[in-house]
Structures are given as C-alpha cells and as structure tokens.
Structure 1
Amino acid sequence: METKKSITVSEIFYLDKLNFEENYLRKNQPVVVRNGLAALPCSKWTIDYLLEQVGTNKVTVRGRTNSKEYKVGKQYIIRDTTFKEYVLDMRSKNVRGGSSYMAVQNIRKTFPQLQDECQLPEYIGKLHNGPFLWVAHEGHYEYCHYDPDASLLMMIDGEKSVKMFSCADHNNMYPNPLGSRGKTIQSQIDCDRVDFQKFPKFSKVTCYSCQLRPGDILLIPAFWWHQVTSLTDSVSMNAFFGESGTDRYITRIMEEPVWISFKYWLLNVVEQNRQFASFERTLQRLQLCVENLLLKQFHEVAPQSILDRLIQTIKEYLEINSLPVFKGGGKNPPPLRIRGLRWR
C-alpha cells in the first residue's frame, strides 16, 4: 500500500477521562492506550476461557470472508453455529474455519454469562451501541469502512494491525455507492492490494497505523475509515459511543471535516429506504423521522437548526423543493430504517 504519508498512532500508557475527551475524542484524533484493560475483568477472556464459559452458546458467523467481495464490503453469507464449533473450525485451519469470522456479537444477548465481567473503560461517555465481541482467525482481513460513532477497540487476546484514514480523506477513499446495505460505509479498496490505476486518489491519503497487543485500547474516531487485520487468532471487544449530553455529539459531527462523511452516511440511509412504497409517507413527516433516527442511533435530541439543515440536505439530494403534505394515517410514520444490519 503506497499512500502519501504514513503516521504511527500516538501511544499513551495512562490517560485520564478528561484528557481523553478534550485531546482526542472531541478533536477526532486516534490514540492507543497501552495496557488500558489491565484492571478490568474482561482482560482474562482468552479463547480457552471463553470456551469454558460460553462454549455451547449460539453465535452468528460470517462466511466467505476470504472472498474479493468481502474485502470490499459487498457480500458475505451468515450462518448460525455454537462458539465451540466456530473455534474448533478456526483452530483446525480447515476451509470453513479459514473463511469465517465471528463478528459483532452483542455480549448482553449472546453471552449473558459474561455480563458481570463486562466492565467498560471509563473513557466511554455515552454508550450508543454494544459492547460487542469479535473472535478472528490468524490472517483475517476486515474490510475498510467507517462507523457513524466513535469506537473503542479493546484487544483482549492475540494481536491485530490497524490502518486508519481520516474522514477528511472521504473523497479519496472510494466509498461504495449510496444505498449500500448496512450501518457502515464501506470502501471499494482492498488496502493490502490497492489498484492505483482504478483508485488513483487513494495515493493522496495519509495512513495512520498501529499494532494492538493484549490489553491495549484504540480510539477509532467517528467516521474515520479503518481496516483491521488479525495477526493471530484473536479476541477483541468494542463499544460505540459519543460525548455525554443531549446534542454535543450531533453538533460536533455537523462540522467539517466530519460533516462530509456524516452527510454521506445519512444519504446512504435515505437511499436504502427510497425504493419502498412507504417512503412517500416517510417524506410527509420527515422531521419526525430524522429526529427518531438521531435518537435511536446517537441517543441525542438535535436542535431545530440542525434538523432544518439535515432536512434541507435530504431535499437537495432528492431534488425536491418541498415535502409532500401529510394526509394523516397512523400515529408514527414509516422510519428511516437502516437496512441490512447483519451486513453492517
């Protein structure tokens, strides 16, 4: 991978919550806190420990993750299995084990036995979603994408390498077309094998990289592109979050350079819903639909000025001057639903 510049992510061995928020979270800058999980019970969640505690639990596993389609975030299959069966496949290095990934497992729902040990670092201001458990085989490549939230990636067992790209480089990252499935925005670029003839602007980006060892915590800023490779069989946990308060997070992501990525994410959700017959009724009560989307996704209540801007952005994208008149019918309008969550 040849980019304009490569930077090693800042590493800190201790960071209090105030400095974390002021110097990294609000400035949308990544940071690695080395051995930040040392005092937390989850630090003992090795693969062997998990086999003892939750081996018979049902899990959802992605398949065909070694395909070209997966590496650009376009396609994979889902299957149900048990945690023990997944690990046996992974450790036997059979064909199925080498093309599977146990991703984004909600700990509270999938592994309730771990709930009492699932204490999160103090850095998380307001939890948006999670925490989630991820178990990967050595060599697993997770496609490059961004999330609409800040994320703490907590390395528990094994090692991972991470490549990140700022939201300021959005237009150089070749996002998949609007309407792509899932909650994330995926890049068309395979970061290990970049076709610079097809994606010439990628050469202009700056890559922020780090290697995570057991106990390390990485802040992945909201709307930052990231690509993660498991260097060994590994266990990690993450949680999506934002600043505390009723509108601090939404206010921040409306500003440059985050705005262009947030705008693309919002319009991707709009395009996911546009094909449905109910979309006309969604437009009739668009402000309420946007309010509900922000409340569900970010747990925030946006001021009217922000709602007006978002509604105008959607109208401009749809090339309409005004919204259809609400003609009644139903207490709640059809929501702006994120389609294909299992695809992320």
Structure 2
Amino acid sequence: MYSDLCALLEMIIMSHVSEVAEFQSCSCDTFQAAIYPLNQPALLKGLDLGPALKLWRSPDYLASRVGPKPVKIHVSQSPKMDFVSKNFLYRTLPFDELVHRCSDPGQKKEYFVSPDEVYYLRAVGDNPRKDIANFTTDYPSLVSDLILPQFFPEDKLFSSVLRVASPGLQLWTHYDVMDNLLVQIVGRKRVVLFPPSALEDLYLKGDKSTVVDIDTPDLEHFPRFSNAERFECEMSPGDVLFIPALWFHNVTSLGYSVAVNSFWRGLDDKFYDSKDTYGNKDPPQVQRALQMVDKAMGLLADLPDSFREFYCQRLITRAKDKMTNNVD
C-alpha cells in the first residue's frame, strides 16, 4: 500500500516536470539575444572555462593552491540542509581541510557533530556583514585557472561565489532577486527549478520553501505542492546553468562538488537593497509593501473570523485589480 502511494505521488509530481533547455557553445550575443529575454533557465554546454576543469579535479591541487585559509561553512547531520528550521551549524575550517573532508568523506578523523556530517561552503567576503563575495579577490591563487562567462555588462556584476559541497548535499529551495550563472567545475549536480508562478504551491517562508523533501513531500501538509511545475537538469563538469531572477531552485551535489557562480543586477540599482551583501534581499519597495500588508492584516485582526476572511479576500482582489489597472 505504501509503495503504491509513493508510486502515485511520484507520477503526480513527474507529470509537471520539464527538461531545462540546452544550448551548445553559446556566445555572449546569442545569450543576450535568444536566451536571456525568455526568462527561462538554460543549460549552456561547451564553453571555454579554462584549465580549472582539469586542474581542480585533484583535491590536493585545490587544497594546496588555497592552503589553510579559514572559511566559514555549514555543517549538518542531514544531507537535506534546511534554512527554515536551521538544521545546521556554522563552523570554521581551513580551506584545505574542507576540501579533503568533502572529497574523501570516509577518511574524516575529526568532526563537529557526527562522522557522517556533510559540509557546504558558500564563500563570503573577509567581513561577511560588509564584504560581498568576489572570487577574484577572495581566491587570487585560483583566478588564472578559471574563465568565468561574461554574458552581462561588467558594471552589473554583483558577486562571484565559490561553492564547495559534500557528496549528497541538498540545498533548500529558494529564489534570488538577481540573475546568475552557475558554473559547475568538479562533480555533478541535480538542479530542480520552479518558475516564479509556482510561489503559491511552494509554501514559502520569506524567500525559502518550507517543503524540504521535494521528491516525496508530505502532501497532507503541502497539498498544493503537487501542482508546482518544475524544470530539471543534471549538470556535469563544464556545464553552466543560467538561473533567472525569482526562479526557485533546489540543488543536490551528486558527488564532491566545486562550483562558482556569478550574480548580476538586471534591473536599475534602485531596485536592490544597498545593504544586501548576499544578493538575496527583496527590493526595498517590496520590503516596504510587505510591511504594509502586515500592518493591514493587523488592522483586521479583531474582526470575527467570517468578516476577516471576507476582507482578506477583498484585499487580495483589490491588489490583483490594481495590478491590472482595473481600480482607480
């Protein structure tokens, strides 16, 4: 009975799956003219990324090039890292030790939580509260190895982030407010993406989905999740994935993984929070609007349930009408 239910669940979810479109040896002109305007994820293959694809395959090489530079990492007993429940710890390791722990997890002699713990490095600047991640300045010994695609104006670059992950690590589903290119260098990744239109099916808390298990979700608690359209791809070393702003994505490292991604501002600077060092804060205008919604809901709090539900729907209807210019 249970296996039948799982099979049915998988069939329902897979009925909404589309493959991410692939493009071979894409040029900057092709990206700007034919891919970027579609606002759809795209898997770019055959790009010249430099010698990193060969050199970084060796954990010893990568570890020796950077050395014992201290890096702040996520550590978790569960391979499914969840930012909503915070099922991980923040710890610090020398970079070379992190690489060896991730690339050869069976040889861990020391650990923070358990022998089977997993690690995730999302590189930050020297001062995480003020400095924006910049691969070029943060990891100068690796810069000559890697050619990052320049498919956007140089002055629009926001950050370039080095990522290192243990085998099997799955990152929570979330969206970013900036477009980005994810460059896979070592290992394979499975990436599941959901369009912005799926936000009501993802049970959000802030910019993150509360559905941790996206393959066998609890549909009793998350019944709408089975309606969410999803796009999937598997990345190999040398692949570059374009993830448009506001597209939700969930990433699983199928083995020891090293990647770098570049975020850039596709909108005018006024639509980005000037104090945002990670590039994931909603536009200031949106932050203020959400605060106003919270205040409006507070004003309705004392109404009887039936009245409160009715006027909540009125607010939703009015917002939709305003968006389509049907209400003055």
TM-score (normalizing by structure 2)? 0.70
Q: Shift of residue 130 of structure 1?
A: 2.2
Q: Deviations over 1:272-296 (max 9, x none)?
A: xxxxxxxxxxxxxxxxxxx495456
Q: Which runs of 5+ in 1 are unaligned?
A: 179-184, 244-248, 252-290, 299-305, 321-344
1:211 paired residue number:
234
Instruction: Give CA-to-partner distance per residue, 1:124-178, whole Å, 9 cap, x none.
Output: 33544321111112111111111111111101011111100001111111111x4
In structure 2, the CA distance between the partners of 1:135 and 1:310, relative to structure 1 (3 Å rule), is closer
Offset, 1:14 = 2.0
Structure 1 counterpart of 2:123: 104
Q: Which amino acid aligns with 1:15?
A: C
What is aligned with 1:225?
248
Find the counterpart in structure 2 of residue 40 from structure 1: 50
**Residue aligning to 2:208:** 186
Query: What's the Cα RMSD here?
Result: 2.8
Judge conservation of contact 2:64–2:96 (CA < 8 Å) in 1: no
- Going from structure 1 to structure 2, the CA distance change for 1:67 and 1:228 (only over 3 Å counts) comes to closer
Match of 1:181 in 2: none
2:99 aligned with 1:87: yes
Q: Corresponding residue for 1:152?
A: 181
1:192 alignment partner, SS class? coil
CA contact (8 A) 1:138 1:233 kept: yes
Q: Aligned with 1:71: secondary structure?
A: coil
Equivalent residues in 2 for 1:27-66, closer than 5 Å: 27-36=38-47, 38-43=48-53, 44-46=55-57, 47-64=59-76, 66=78
2: distance between equivalents of 1:170 and 1:147? 13
Structure 2 CA distance for partners of 1:22 and 1:51, relative to 1, 3 Å:
same
Residue of structure 2 aligned with 1:115, choices 143, 147, 150: 143
- For residues 238-279 of structure 1, the C-alpha deviation after alignment (integer angstroms, 9 at most, x for no partner) is 111134xxxxx259xxxxxxxxxxxxxxxxxxxxxxxxxxxx
Quickly say closer, same or farther: Cα 1:204–1:114, change in 2 above 3 A. Answer: same
Note if contact 2:77-2:118 (Cα within 8 Å) is conserved in structure 1: yes
Q: Which residue number in structure 1 is paired with residue 29 of structure 2?
A: 18
Letter in 2 for 1:227: N
TM-score (norm 1): 0.67
In the other structure, the counterpart of 2:320 is none
Kept after mapping to 1: 8 A contact 2:79/2:169 = no
Retained in 2: the 8 A contact 1:73–1:144? Answer: no
Contact 2:182/2:242 (8 A) holds in 1: yes
Q: Deviations over 1:205-256 (max 9, x none)?
A: 111000111101000111111111111111111111134xxxxx259xxxxx
1:109, distance to aligned residue in structure 2 (A): 5.0
Q: Secondary structure at the match of 2:224?
A: helix
Does residue 197 (structure 1) correspond to residue 242 (structure 2)? The answer is no
Within the candidate set 4, 16, 21, 1:5 is matched to 16
Aligned length: 259
For 1:248-327, list aligned pairs within 5 A.
Answer: 249-250=267-268, 291=270, 293-295=272-274, 313=289, 316-319=292-295
Deviation at 1:101, TM superposition (A): 1.4
| Deviating more after overlay: 73-82 vs 93-102 | 93-102
- Whichever of the two has the greater Rg, that structure is 2
Q: 1:135 aligns with which of 122, 140, 164?
A: 164
Q: Does structure 1 residue 161 correspond to structure 2 residue 190?
A: yes
Give deviations 1:47-79, integer Å, cap 9, x for gaps.
Answer: 3321120132211111116176x3354312111
**In percent, how many aligned pairs have the same letter?**
25
Opposite residue 136 of structure 1, the aligned amino acid is A
1:102 partner SS: strand
Contact 2:67/2:95, CA 8 A, preserved across alignment = yes
Contact conserved, 2:40 with 2:244, CA < 8 A, in 1? Answer: yes
Return 5+ residue gaps in structure 2 as ranges: 1-9, 109-113, 125-132, 278-282, 297-328
- Separation of aligned partners in 1, 2:78 and 2:291: 39
**Residue 6 and residue 297 in structure 1: after superposition, are their counterparts in 2 closer, same or farther (change >3 A)?**
same
- Are 1:73 and 1:188, in contact at CA under 8 Å, matched by a contact in 2? yes
Structure 1 residues 154, 99: CA separation in 2 closer, same or farther (over 3 Å shift)? same
Aligned to 2:326: none
Q: Give the corresponding residue for 2:153.
A: 125
